[in-house]
Every structure is written in C-alpha cells, then in structure tokens.
Amino acid sequence: MQAAPINEAVLAGGCFWCVEHDLEKLPGVLDVQSGYAGGDKPNPTYQEVSAGGTNYVESVKVRFDPNKLSYETLLRSFWRNVDPTDGSGQFCDRGSSYRPVIFVADADQQKGAEASAAAARAELGSKKVLRVAIEPLKRFWPAENYHQNYAELNKPKYNFYRWSCGRDARLDAVWGKKARKGLMWSSLPLKPGGQR
C-alpha cells in the first residue's frame, strides 16, 4: 500500500503562534509546527532569534496533503493572514525576526510563490508595494516545546495578545472583512493532480 503524499511549506508572517493557529484550520493541513528559518546558526533559540542579528525569522512548517490542499491555495490563505505591505515586522511585532517571508524549497515552490505574489498584488491594487520576501529555504528548526500549539493550550493569553496586537483589525483593513472569512476553500474543486 502506497503512503499518501505529503508536502511541506515554510512560511513566516509575524508571530508564529498566530500563523500556526490560522493555517492549521485549512482542510488538508495535517499539522503546523512553529520554528525558525532563514539563518545559518544551528539550533537557534527563541532568545537568540528575538534579540536580532541571526537572520532567523519566526516561521511555521506546514505539512499538507496535496490531494486535498494545493500549494497555491495554502499561499492564498497565507497572504490573507499577513499585512503584505509591511516588511519591517507584522502588527505589533517589529524587527527582522517578524518580517513576512515565503521560503521556497525548489523551483516549483518558487514559481508558485511568484504567482501568488502577482495575484495578491492584483487583488490589492497595483499601487500597493508588497514587502513579502521570497527566499530559498536553508533549513527549518523547530521552536521550543512551549511555543507549539500555543493558541490552543493558552487560549486566554493568546486571545488577549492577538487582540492587543491589532492583528485582526489590520487584516480586515487590508483585505476586507469578507476576504478572510472564506479561507477554507473546501468548496473549490480539485483539478487533476490535486490543484484547485
């Protein structure tokens, strides 16, 4: 019996708690892990990354079933959960360790990331300058255990953080309230090969 295909994507959009929480809801996502990507030092810690100077970014690794969720659909959801006009951090989290990045593992992901950026630019209007970087994935390092599944395990603290950071208010201002409501995409038919 052949194992089901599993794809991975590494994305950064500010606080990894929030990106993990938002993307794990998508049908076809198997799991989301918080961690760090973009730097070179082995085994980075939260303290090192948040202090700056490591080139690491708070990121998530998304494992998904490509027969249920395409990379393109995953990226569309990612765009809707970041402020793509802010490359200096996201919402109340400032600095290079919170900048938005699509990390690409190969030429296919590079092509998909570039197409998703073009689609986001068209949706937002050509006068908007997008500040989401597309960078080669070096390696993803998992974050410490206390960061994993933080939103679910620490609901009151997470909900207060997310509200006080202004994340949802800014997302609604950028994309419109209706834009983020329809992120499940489960009604979109799959084309042959698992594409939507």
Residue 37 · residue 12 · CB < 8 Å: yes
Among 106, 79, 117, 78, smallest CA distance to 7 is for 106
Active-site residue flag, 15: yes
Cα Rg of the chain (Å, integer): 16
Place of tokens 């993990």: 20
Q: List, in sequence order, every beta strand (DSSP E) within 85-196.
A: 89-90, 93-94, 101-104, 133-136, 140-142
For residues 80 and 182, what is the distance between their CA atoms, to the nearest angstrom? Answer: 10
Catalytic residue among 15, 18, 92, 165: 15
Residue 80 · residue 179 · CB < 8 Å: yes
Catalytic residue numbers read: 15
